[in-house]
Chains A and B, each alone.
Chain A
Amino acid sequence: MRHKLYTGSFAWIIQRVSGVLLALFLTLHLYFMKNINGPLGYQSIAGMMKNPLIKFGETILLMVAAAHTLNGIRIVLLEAGAPTRFQKPLFYLAALGIVVLSITGAYSLLGGRI
């Protein structure tokens, strides 16, 4: 290890990784959307979305998106002038938000109801 990592480093790594994953997802998403031809094509894609594997994938996607969004809001706030003493509390807050969104999201996506 080059240097000890701190809260800010973890936040940054999460942001990088989730950003790359989201970019990958968006590419796939746009590709599939572009290739939907008429109602039949839509039907088949809609059918595919019921696949438990896809559902699971969607849950992961939700977690990644939640992480990227909340972490991103933290950085925007900090760069917009929120004082440095808030950088760690803001990360913990974002982390809490990510956990809550992930759990509730997973619950409703994977068949439970909230």
Chain B
Amino acid sequence: MEQYILKIKRFDPEKDRKPRWEKFRIEMEFTDRVLDGFIKIKDAIDGSLTFRRSCAHGICGSCAVKINGKSGLACQTIIKDVPPGEIVIEPLPAFPVIKDLVVDIEPFFGKNREAMPYLINNEPPPELERLQSPEEQEKILQSITCIMCGCCASSCPSYWADKEYMGPSALLKAYRFIMDSRDRALEERMNSIAKPHGLWRCHSIYNCVEVCPKEIDITSHIAKLKRLAVKKKLSGFFKG
């Protein structure tokens, strides 16, 4: 066990007019995760510390916070991997804070809904299921693994600057269905993303790729969509 200091940015809407910093000194193993620190504080020091977590295994996406200046999952960040000394914890940037580390992710989910995150196929369903070949599956494999944690959007400079920008994960969602061999709504989907607050707001800054806890190569997925949009526009142009 060793001593660690967790410096946490806190905000209680009932008491505080603006966020304040609080330091907690706790004992942790170097194999512990940042989330274990939160739980220790809540159990033993200050029960009012508020944060989200559910699975504690990097799969529900609810524990995303800013750790030493970088968006990441508290349950997936091992203490030995953060520089020794003070660990600085803040709520995710770019999302409105509700309390302490809990932010309002509704706008983020709303943008994902804009990308129509469901299969659209009006053809009569086959007897068993709509099949996909392994090669077809391969195309969308990475994009399927997104856990909607919001790390990408909260670290994206375009997302900070443009409140209406759909953001990396919504565009990734669009990719997931556009490239899905079973989906039939290509036109509709392309129209929903090939717009100023969609695809063209991504400037390939790669912050999203730097932080994604699922190591998804988001930017290259978005770039593929950009190329598809240009191709479609050009082919329409030449057809008249």
Contacts and interface: CB of A to CB of B under 8 A. Distances in A.
A79 B224 CA distance: 8
A41 interface: no
Given A9-B157, A12-B157, A1 B69 contact: yes
A3 interface: yes
B58 interface: no
Interface stretch (A30-38, A50-58, A80-88, A92-100): A80-88
Contacts of A12: 157, 203-205
Contacts of A6: 206-207, 210
A1 B206 CA distance: 17
Contact of B220 (A9, A15, A83): A83
Contact of B227 (A1, A80, A84): A80
Interface magnitude class on chain B: 20 to 34
Interface magnitude class on chain A: 20 to 34
A29 interface: no
Interface of A: 1-9, 11-12, 15, 75, 78-81, 83-84, 87
22 contacts: A1-B69, A2-B93, A2-B94, A3-B71, A3-B207, A8-B205, A9-B157, A9-B205, A9-B206, A9-B207, A12-B203, A12-B204, A78-B204, A78-B223, A79-B204, A79-B223, A79-B226, A80-B227, A81-B223, A81-B224, A81-B227, A83-B220
